[in-house]
Amino acid sequence: MYQDGGVEFAGYVAPGRWRSLWNGGELRWAGRVVGWPVFNALRIVRETMGGKVALVTGASSGIGTAVVAGLADAGYSILAAGRDRLRTEHVGTEYPEVRTWVGDITTPESCADLVMACIEQFGRLDVLVNNAGIYQAADAERTTNELWSRTLAVNLNAPFYLSRDAMPHLRQTKGVILNIASDWGLVGGKKATAYCASKGGMVLMTKSMALDHAHEGIRINAICPGDVETPMLYAEGAARGLEPDQALREAARASPTGKVTSAADVAALVVFLASEAASQITGAALSIDGGNTA
């Protein structure tokens, strides 16, 4: 039963902005079919998130775009940051509660500017999602100085600078930092020396900061995806001469579940960890890789 652009469910009206559709016996959230218990859990998450603000980096594609969608559907106002102006601004047109920031985040100055832009726009910060990341296949011998420096600048330095600058604001809101790491931050990967170093550093940075700031009510966790169906996966496959469908099938065969993690799967974990339902989870590195690191 539709009411005010939403759907009535067990006495609760889910707003249309949440993209929930009661359609032929199926309940959908963010375009995916969910069960009744899941919808109820998502309702609770949304009710605890209204009025909060998130800053998401790497928001112009892949996991970042899905995280923006998930948090917007959960009631957040969001500053979406990315390097690609056209794609980043397109994300901003999808949701009225999203503002955009375009620029590079590899210097301390740019990261300070980004955090301040969020505070000036919304007046507060509740969740920082350090998602921006790069990957280029190379073993140690073929890792150039430029590749090493650039990988650590994006994947490790930027999350550190942003977390440091966000901390005073997160202290006020008892906020959350979520670092999008990798299962290759937990185990090694071939031809990924710089990438593994950066993501492994991110995982231990997460744990150290979580211990430092737990007493202040700030929670800090790392999410460690395996292969995710994103442009990065297809680019990696293309570098090895694979068509997109071939790259996807190969990744699925390598997973114990026989499936590739979707960007929406990762976004759902972000939404959960940002919520009060995860109030006792901090300093964790949570794998979402179909069992690859089991």
Contact, 286 vs 224, CB < 8 A? yes
What is the torsion angle, in degrees rounded to the nearest 10, for the CA atoms of residue 153, residue 262, residue 238 and residue 202? 20
Q: Which of 76, 95, 195, 234 is catalytic?
A: 195
Catalytic residue status for 12? no
Residues annotated as catalytic are 195
